[in-house]
Every structure is written in structure tokens, then in C-alpha cells.
Structure 1
Amino acid sequence: MYIVSTSRTGEFAKNMMTSSSMKEVEVERKVFPDGERYFRLLEDLGDREVAVVGNTNIDSDILELSFLLDAAREEHPSKLIAVIPYFGYARQHMIYKKGEAISAKVLIASISEYADEIITIDIHDTSSFRYSKSKCRDFHASASIADYFKEKNIDLVMAPDDGAFFRAKEVADILGCKSGFMNKKRIDATTVEYNMDHLDASGMRVLLVDDIISTGGTILRSMEIIKNSGASAVFVSATHGLFINDSARKIAAECAELVVTDTIKSSYSKINVSRKLSDFITGD
């Protein structure tokens, strides 16, 4: 398989190349004086299996991913896979207010025009896949997260809400410990109340997991409640660390350890999910 990566996912793509059968494709990139960008694949990809790797949380990366997919498609590969470690805009997968664009639909429909298959990692909502003309698969980072915490003596894995409970349960099942989720009750349009009245975390080492950490508000509130319930230590992990407004520093200061996967590069990206993803893609 031949691997093409966008500028920001080069390291992730290199980590995916776990066997000699995978080869990195060199890309010629330049920017014209008027700001327009140019991309050229420096490899013959005819009748080859090709994976183009790129995130969609930054608009310029979306453009680069689209151009690289088009360049790869023009080579007539035997199969073209779009690998999107972090699928940005997935939170707008439906209309919430009249007049809104469905951002996830625009992206996934466009990508499916080029790719035979789309692979994501812990996409925020898999209902976005219904907009695709191509086969879609979502890879879960749970096993990679569990591997990292195997020696941390975790007693309880918590999700910040019931919607993320399946992720906490996956991690807990691998670790062989209990799992649970925060109760979330909306009081009014601006107030949400969190509690874990149904669980006793006294003396426990608790791992709080989610798919995305953005501003960190939900995680910080959940941590406070878990601590108040008597937990001896709270660890925090997520698949995608966006860390808006210095949220990583705020969370790290309040927990035993903060770690995320390598879908988005940061100093907290200590969990390698790219190798297991490679096996998922190739079926090994």
C-alpha cells in the first residue's frame, strides 16, 4: 500500500507504515505568489492500493486533502482510501437551527466522490456516514488507550455522559475494571448539572475518557465531581486533543495524568493509535 499524507499528518502516516509493503509517497508542494497552492504526487500509483491521510479540522488541511485525493484518483489506483484520523466538523452532522449548513455532510460527500473507502478514528457521530457514497468504517482507539493505562492500576473508567459510555466500557473491559458515566441534567438553556450519584468512587483510581477534548469544560466539571466522590486519583484521556484556550494546562494541573492519542500532535499525544489503525486498514 502507498501512503500519501497532508503536511500536518506526515508523522502520523510514517507511524502507520508498520510493514515493508507500505511505502510513503513523496509530494511536491508549492505556493504561488497569489496564494494558490500546488500539489503533485511523485510516484506512479496506477493499479496500486493508495491511502491518503489527512485531518479535516483546519480549513487549509481540508483543501490539501481534497487536492491529494484528486491527484491520487487521476493515477487510477486499484483502491483509494481516505484515512481521516480526526474528522473535524463532525459535530454539525444535522440541522439544529433553520438555515444551517450540515458541515459533516458537505465534507464526507465531497471526500466520497474520490475515495472508495473512508476510514475515521472515533468520529464524533457515525450518522455522518449516511451522506457518503463510499464504504465508511470508524476505528476505535479504546484498545490503544487501555494499553497505555494497563500498568496504572485503574479501578473505574468513567465517561462524561451516557453518550460516551460505550467508549468507557470498551476501555474498562480490556482493563478488567468497572465502568460508568456522569449523569447530566439540563436545568435551563445555559445550565447543566452533573452528578455521579449512582456510583461510589471512594478510594478508587479513576480514568475519565472522551472522544474529544476541546475547551475542556465538561472534563473539568466531571473531574471535580469524581474527586468530590472520594477518588484517590483521576486520570484523563481522549482520542482527539484539540485543547482550545489553554485547556490542556488547566486539565493537567488538576489530574494525575493527561494523555491523548496521536491523531492531533501535541505534547500530550503519548498514545500511538496509528499502528493499530494500520492493522485495521489492512485486515491484519
Structure 2
Amino acid sequence: MIIGGSASQKLAAKIANELKCPLIPIETRRFPDGERYIRIKGELDNEAIVVQSTGYPQDENLMELFLILKNLKSMGIENIKVVIPYFGYGRQERRFKSGEAISAEIISELIEVAGATEIFCINLHEESITDFFQIPTHNLSAMTLIASHIQQNLDNPVIIAPDKGALGFAKEIADILGCEYDYLEKVRISPEVVETKTKKVNVKGKEAVIIDDIISTGGTIVNAARILKEHGASKVIVSCVHPVLVEDALLKIFAAGVDDVIATDTLLSDVSVISVAPLVAAAMLK
């Protein structure tokens, strides 16, 4: 039985189709004072799969998830698998300064207490978040899906990480495609001049694909795109798993000369052209 939260109903329907499982509708509305109302409208057996991204608005989507999970638990559902395509509050998995809340740990504990018995996430911002759960937790990678899309649409790509932190994603995709990959690094030319360029690969005349896990404000991507254009890339494509894309991020990216932006549907957006439903369904069947 698949239950889709407000943030992921379309994806939940796709997962239900992949698994050939019934999709159970829910009724959700807001009381005049802002509190949420949740009702599960369907007959359930002993197992349920809840699909809910916890991106913006994070607090509302998390509260809805907590209500759904606790409701299922109180209804006697013993096996509650939770698919969290985008894990909100996942940026802080440790305490950097004294007194800071470790938000990823707190949210993980609340999800587990609410009734989850197994967790499926996609490209967590930090792999270590899985350690906060005491129940089976899976961090799935959407890079194979992104690689497949690139293979179908580009002839001779080179995969570029916008910084060293995203190099692992670039390598994962390049290994699948059998193509070159690199990352952008800052090189100090003089005490006053710093140049950003690819570490080893010449992108001149090539189709450069920038890859990252999350695109939020788009600042890093805009800088990377301009540099690749300056170094002669024939085309610049931007790809990511989670298209957070706050405010005018997408506009800024295209204004920087990017030819296309592709992302998965862990979050709904205008560029969510790759569905993670097959990835989730396959993990459920293992």
C-alpha cells in the first residue's frame, strides 16, 4: 500500500505503478489557526509505504510526515517503510559550534519515534545521516539514472564537478558512461589574482555536464558555467538530484549561458525530468 504525502503525491503514484501496488489517498487540510488535518482514506493491511519529501516548506512537510506515521502506527500497521526522496534538515549532521542543534540527528530520531520501521533516502547530503537511525536505512544513488539520461541526449560529454566536494558524483557518472571527468579548482596566479579552472581536462569544444547533488541558490553553478564557457565548452548542461532552486536560481543559471538543466523528481520543479520511481521500486523489491 503506497501513501503519498502532499510533497510527493506524483512520485508516490509512479512508485505504486512500478510496484503494481494500490495507491491509498489521504485527505489533508489546514485548520483556520494553521494546524494540519490528516485522514487516510482507504483500507490498509499490515504494511504501508509512505512517500514524502521534506523540502520547502520543511516544517509543514515534516509535520505532515509525523502525523501520517503516527496515525498508521496507532491504526496497528506494524511495517511502515518511509521513502524520503529529499531529506530536509540534512545539512547539519554534526555540531560545528558550541550550542548548535544537530538537526539531521533530531529529525532522524523523530521520524523513527513516529513509527517508521525502514527508511529509503536518495543521495543524502551526508552519508553519515544513516547512522542516526536505529532501523534499516538505505541511501540510494540517482547517479545511474542521470547517467542514462546524459547517454541518451549527448554524444561526447565530459562530466564536471563544480568543486572538489562533488567530485565523487562526477566520477560515479563518468565511470558509468566511460567518459572523462574533472572538477573546478582555484589556482593562485599571484597574491592578488586567483583563477578557477578545470584541474586536468580540456573542455574546449566539448559538451560539459556540471553535476551536483543539490542546487539551491545556483551561485556555485553560475560560476562554474561561466568558467566552462570561457574555456571553450561547446555546450554546458547542468544536472542535479535535488532541484531546490530557491527564488530566481533557475533564471540566474540560464542567464549564465547554460543550455539545459536536468534534475530528478525528488522535488517537484520545472526541470524534474528524471523519475526516481524505478530506483525506489527496485530497492523495495530487494
Q: TM above 0.5, one fold?
A: yes
Aligned length: 277
Which residue of the partner structure matches residue 12 of structure 1? 11
SS at match of 2:236: strand
Write the distance in 1 (CA, Å) between the matches of 2:62 and 2:195. Answer: 36
TM-score (normalised: structure 2): 0.90
Structure 1 pair 195/116, CA: closer, same or farther in 2 (3 Å)? same
For residue 209 of structure 2, the aligned residue among 179, 186, 207 is 207
Q: Which residue of 2 aligns with 1:92?
A: 92
- Tell me the distance in 2 between the aligned counterparts of 1:142 and 1:124: 14
Q: Distance in 2 between matches of 1:260 and 1:123?
A: 15
Q: Matched residues in 2 for 1:173 and 1:210: separation?
A: 16
Runs (4+) off by over 6 Å: none
- Checking the alignment, whether the CA contact within 8 Å between 2:124 and 2:139 is kept in structure 1 is yes
The offset of 1:95, in angstroms, is 1.2
SS in 1 for 2:99: coil
Partner of 2:148: 147
Q: Distance in 2 between matches of 1:90 and 1:193?
A: 32
CA offsets 1:127-154 (integer angstroms, 9 cap, x no match): 1122112111111111111121113114
Query: Is the CA contact 1:53–1:83 (under 8 Å) kept in the aligned structure 2?
Result: yes
Q: Which residue of 1 aligns with 2:191?
A: none
Match of 2:21 in 1: 22
Shift of 1:184: 5.0
Change (3 A) 1:197 1:181: closer
Report the secondary structure of 1:7's partner residue.
Answer: coil
Q: Secondary structure at the match of 2:217?
A: coil
2:130 is matched with: 129
Distance 1:222 1:111, change over 3 A: same
- For residue 76 of structure 1, what is the amino acid of its counterpart? G
For 2:258 and 2:215, the matched residues in 1 are separated by: 14
State the Cα deviation string for residues 220-244 of structure 1 (Å, max 9, x = none). Answer: 1111222222211111010111112
Q: 1:243 to 1:193 in 2, by over 3 A?
A: farther
The equivalent residue for 2:107 is: 107
- Structure 2 counterpart of 1:138, one-letter code: N
Q: Residue in 2 aligned with 1:256? A: 259
Answer whether contact 1:46 1:78 (CA < 8 A) is retained: no
Q: Is the 8 A contact 1:45 1:75 kept in 2?
A: no
2:2 partner letter: I
> 5 Å matches for 1:1-284?
2-19=1-18, 21-48=20-47, 50-57=48-55, 58-113=58-113, 114-150=115-151, 151-183=153-185, 194-253=196-255, 254-283=257-286
- TM-score when normalising by structure 1: 0.91
Q: Which has the higher contact order (CA 8 A, sep 6+)?
A: 2
Q: What is the CA distance between 1:43 and its match in structure 2?
A: 2.7
RMSD across aligned positions (CA): 2.0
CA distance in 1, matches of 2:247, 2:133: 33
Q: Is the 8 A contact 1:46 1:76 kept in 2?
A: no
Structure 1 residue runs without a partner (length 5+): 187-191
